[in-house]
A and B are shown apart, each in its own frame.
Chain A
């Protein structure tokens, strides 16, 4: 078996092995999500392209498909370049460059959550650390509105709760784990402190903990229906811990009070720091390339949200979000790259997308692949394994070429680069 880097989720596991022989996929260490992903994309490594018109499918070679894609994009009045959720840093940079050439809007699944936290002061305050630091030092791990058992299976075993570290030699027995959510989750099974709060109660809980830690209002009465003793337990654990990390997820971002929640989490971390403790807040998002998109976007503009190149300069998409514009059917051509957009977009935006002329570049077998007017099937980056991706803690992980890479003659980066060069040449003419 060969060493590979899994690109199924934002952990980008680089300690796993895989082998493909006689169409059979075997792996060691890959979680169910990773293995299923590898198994699926391994069978779609051969490049081909399909165009669809009036229900009739036509097979195309790569050159024909690229020409068709270039013409469609050049003639578009309001193009959108969307997706990028399983792409390398290099592909995303090329995609941003293509968006500039086309004066298009560039957006990704990061807009649905991660971008909001990375645009917030919680990120500017530099409250993050890297996962290795958590593994080596983390004493109190809190999953707040995040559920790794569902989305990033190896998060707890590889970095946060279970592994032994330099200052936590007994692993799980040296650490305390807390889980805060609006329902009982599977993650709670590993929690020493399990806090179920009403929907939208995050800020009230954070405020109560801050007030107790600062001595302003000691916890003596129930908060959010939780007994004071339960909350005192978590507050005392925060006081005792010399290294606390809060992994906050979609429950914090999508609760309707995003800015308030993030501000209070940042204040809670700052309160712990004022008490002389090491404390961090880290986003928990499962899409593997969301952090890559944010890092690449940051090189062009201060925004982490959708970028509008229609003026020729990168600016933050204003007035309406991409989803609102998709819902209003404002994009006539949408280039979807490396993402099954129908599976990730909110319902109304996905419905709006169906009225656009869709060009899809990505692995075969997805809903997008089956719907797009032009679908260019390329090898997934877990197969081609060329380039780098950015892990959820902003650490770059280099993909590792392996025997399966021989099955992937061209990847998304190659195709996007060729498409971009073709478009540039046509525009010059």
Chain B
């Protein structure tokens, strides 16, 4: 369980588990690698935003915990006006202007999906 917790937090990876590297566990190793891939590096996770679907409602801006922390007025529903947030509504549609600040990326590596969850037009997709 302790290993699973560390795995979920991204502190270790599947290859750190010796039994998984033994013959016969190849399928398990592959599955766990796939499951934990989003936690490991920016190259293997991401937030995709379809501007054609976006209405610029700003739900993502206000729901994103990072945005609220770095530009507090967004927490009370105000538009993001600086260049420090993850999301900002530019020219009528949401733009991801600081993807590296997303909590899915190091050092947090959290499985946060609030922007995707509350995007009413399904413009945001997380993988």
Contact = CB atoms under 8 A, between A and B. Distances in A.
Contact of A189 (B76, B93, B118): B118
B56 A162 contact: no
Contact of A153 (B55, B75, B90): B55
B121 interface: yes
A26 B118 contact: no
A154 B78 CA distance: 10
Interface residues of A, number: 35
B12 interface: no
B71 to A, nearest CB: 12
A333 interface: no
Contacts of A190: 59, 118, 120
A176 to B, nearest CB: 14
B81 interface: yes
B88 A157 contact: no
A29 interface: yes
B68 to A, nearest CB: 7
Contacts, number: 108
Interface in A201-235: none
Q: Which of B54, B59, B75 has the most CB of A within 10 A?
A: B59
Interface string A246-264: 0000000000000000000
Interface string B64-86: 00001000010111111100000
B79 A163 contact: no
20 contacts: A15-B78, A15-B79, A25-B91, A28-B80, A31-B55, A31-B56, A31-B57, A31-B92, A32-B93, A33-B56, A34-B56, A36-B92, A135-B77, A149-B57, A157-B62, A162-B59, A162-B62, A171-B62, A186-B120, A190-B120
Interface of B: 54-59, 61-63, 68, 73, 75-81, 88-93, 118-122
